Amino acid sequence: MKIIKVNPSRCTGCRSCEIACSFHNLGECNPSRARIHIISDRIRGVNLPLICQQCRDAPCKAACPTGALAEDPETHAVIVHENKCIGCRQCVLACPFGAIDVYQDMGHSFKCNLCDGTPQCVEACEEDALTFVEEARENRDKNWHIAEMLQKIMQSQDEDSGPDFSGETYTEWKKVV
């Protein structure tokens, strides 16, 4: 299975990935409607691309009461079947990474679908902060550990200051990324 690998130390925060994503999926250059988001701490110079981790036992998929989330047989990405989605937000609440949301004006959820195997965010990233790679079996546990630490960083945020990029979890995360 191919995944989008994130290297935050290479991310400049240019948001080209968000623009490419929103244009590919919605035909508009609107980063706020992208399926990838850059979380930035300008004081510390940290930019963190936040994207669906394509979990094997996807909590979003399990939480969906209508079966609108399913694995794509070709890319193995968890995708949203918009015609089945009722916009109830159960998937949003279940995602430990904050990588799924609901388009209020469209009434259905949205998340990374790997652009049918050619992620446009990866194509747009000139700094190689995003790469589309085959996930090695031996890296699955490491990748999940990194994702869990990212979750802790994201949960440390408050409305005024955003994620805590100064804490112990972030320091540990930087060592393994």
Architecture, CATH, for domain 56-111: 2-Layer Sandwich (3.30)
Estimate to the nearest angstrom the gap between the alpha carbon of 143 and the chain centroid.
Answer: 13
Evaluated on CA atoms 68, 72, 98, 34, the torsion sign reads negative
* Domain extent listing, the chain: 1-51+116-140, 56-111
Q: Do domains 1-51+116-140 and 56-111 have the same CATH topology?
A: yes
pLDDT tens string, the chain, 177 residues long: the values are 899 999 888 999 999 999 999 999 999 999 999 999 998 887 778 888 999 989 888 999 999 999 999 999 999 999 999 999 999 999 999 998 889 999 989 999 999 999 999 999 999 999 999 999 987 665 666 666 666 776 676 666 665 566 666 666 566 655 555
Q: Whole-prediction pTM value?
A: 0.80
Reply yes or no on domain 1-51+116-140 having CATH 3.30.70.20: yes
**How far apart are the C-alpha atoms of 152 and 173, rounded to whole Å?**
10
Q: Which runs of consecutive H residues, i.e. helices, occur in the chain?
A: 16-26, 59-63, 90-94, 120-124, 140-155, 168-176
